[in-house]
Amino acid sequence: MIECWFEFGSNYSYLSVMRIEALAAARGVTVRWKPFLLGPIFKSFGWETSPFVLQQAKGAYTWRDMQRQCEKYNLPWTQPSRFPRSALLPMRVALLGAEQPWMGAFCRCIMLMNFAQDRDIDSPAAVSEALLALGLPDGELMAAAVAEENKLRLRAQTEAAQARGIFGAPTFFVGEEMYWGNDRLGDALTAAARG
């Protein structure tokens, strides 16, 4: 079992979310999805936005790196015209879906909207489109997603991330071992497959 802590606004989460289900299945590993919000964690460091925006040189490098990484993994890529994109609504839906069979497909759909189609993902139109494409009751799910109880659950999950030492996304856990970044997905899966 591998826990995948991610956020739809995070470009390196994109690389992992697109690949993790297939890679895990090939090794007989179960994925446990853990959506959480990066914003409050960055704020706790005194950062008002992504380090890729705050540090100009690192940001410039990141976009070139993403281009090369997507080529390597054969994933589509368009540099988002807005970064980081807020993703509150799809994150809330992802929290609802975390243990549902449609979770992986829903996450890939939202990620592609952000990082391949350069679309606003924090809108009922986008989320509804993603849910309908999977044959899901969009209105019902979005209503449940914005219910107070679910909002509080996402806040609690974000606090749990921070309490566990998470400082960026994606982050993987295999038991108590933490692995940070898409670059560690392979190592994390190897550890998970070892059991």
Cis peptide before 124 (omega within 30 of 0): no
Phi-psi region of 74 (alpha: psi -120 to 50; beta: other; left: phi over 0): left
Size of the site for a second copy (CB under 8 A): 22
Applying CB under 8 A, does 75 fall inside the site for a second copy? no
The sign of the torsion formed by the CA atoms of 132, 36, 183, 57 equals positive
Least Å from the CB of residue 73 to a second copy: 12
Binding residue for a second copy, selected from 166, 169, 185, 189, defined by CB under 8 A: 166
Applying CB under 8 A, does 194 fall inside the site for a second copy? no
Cis peptide before 170 (omega within 30 of 0): yes
Binding residue for a second copy, selected from 120, 123, 136, 168, defined by CB under 8 A: 168
Say which residue the tokens 């070139």 belong to. Answer: 64
Segment near a second copy (CB under 8 A), from 106-114, 117-125, 147-155, 183-191? 183-191
Applying CB under 8 A, does 43 fall inside the site for a second copy? no
Q: Are 150 and 92 in contact (CB under 8 A)?
A: yes
DSSP-derived pairing of the beta strands 171-174 and 31-35: unpaired
Applying CB under 8 A, does 64 fall inside the site for a second copy? yes
Segment near a second copy (CB under 8 A), from 80-88, 115-123, 140-148, 164-172? 164-172
Nearer to a second copy, 112 or 166 (CB): 166
- Rounded Cα gap, residues 110 and 131, in angstroms: 10
Nearer to a second copy, 14 or 106 (CB): 14
In angstroms, how far apart are the furthest CA atoms of the chain?
44
Applying CB under 8 A, the residues found at the interface with a second copy are 45, 55, 57-58, 60-61, 64-65, 68, 72, 165-168, 177-181, 183-184, 187
